[in-house]
Chain A
Amino acid sequence: GAVVSQHPSWVICKSGTSVKIECRSLDFQATTMFWYRQFPKQSLMLMATSNEGSKATYEQGVEKDKFLINHASLTLSTLTVTSAHPEDSSFYICSATQLEHSNQPQHFGDGTRLSIL
């Protein structure tokens, strides 16, 4: 089945640094990738939709300057948390799909646990 790889799986860094998370589709071309955020014991909240070759679409309340998303190729999308602060600590999950094929489900990565000290 389709595999989505997310890297790193866990990152700890100091407040004020920027952190980049990668999401790769390993065996299919993902025209669309989604980024979610999950707080402990809560559901996944959609942050943004990333389409290859175009600007990401952010959900209401998500700061686009804080969470920079790039989808430069059909197999890679990146989420950069800029000037991270403790309140950005969370579990970030990406998913990938091919929206042009209506029967294609979303395939999820393993997630990245981000801890800001």
Chain B
Amino acid sequence: AQRVTQPEKLLSVFKGAPVELKCNYSYSGSPELFWYVQYSRQRLQLLLRHISRESIKGFTADLNKGETSFHLKKPFAQEEDSAMYYCALTYGNTGKLIFGQGTTLQVKP
């Protein structure tokens, strides 16, 4: 079965420190991986997707098929990055998103 695991419920860092939010997945085929972000009192929004291979707000994520991981990274965290981050995958042509448990990123001044 498809599964997304985010091992950390909370990640707390100081402003300017590097950030890595971990995400591992299990799926026998070729999934499409996403990172969604939810800022306080706002709706869930797409941060980035692996097929785009782009950097959004300084965040990057590389799909590692060998390790079945899609970790989200940013070299220098900003206070405005504080939010809940969800890793998700979709498979086949279903469009269905399977979400991880989410990680709260707290960036302290």
Contacts and interface: CB of A to CB of B under 8 A. Distances in A.
Contacts of A99: 93, 95
Max chain B Cβ within 10 angstroms of own Cβ: one of A32, A46, A105: A105
Contact of B97 (A4, A34, A103, A109): A34
Interface string A80-96: 00000000000001010
Contacts of A45: 99
Interface residues of A, number: 21
B11 interface: no
B46 interface: yes
A111 B97 contact: no
Contact of A111 (B43, B45, B51, B99): B43
Nearest to A45: B99
A106 B95 contact: yes
Given A44-B86, A105-B34, A108-B45, A34 B95 contact: yes
A54 interface: no
A105 B33 CA distance: 11
A46 B96 CA distance: 8
Given A43-B100, A43-B102, A105-B34, A32 B95 contact: yes
B99 A43 contact: yes
A77 interface: no
B95 A110 contact: no
B17 interface: no
A103 B90 CA distance: 12
23 contacts: A4-B43, A32-B95, A34-B96, A34-B97, A42-B101, A43-B86, A44-B97, A44-B99, A46-B97, A46-B98, A93-B44, A95-B44, A95-B97, A97-B95, A99-B93, A99-B95, A102-B93, A103-B51, A106-B46, A106-B95, A106-B97, A109-B43, A110-B43
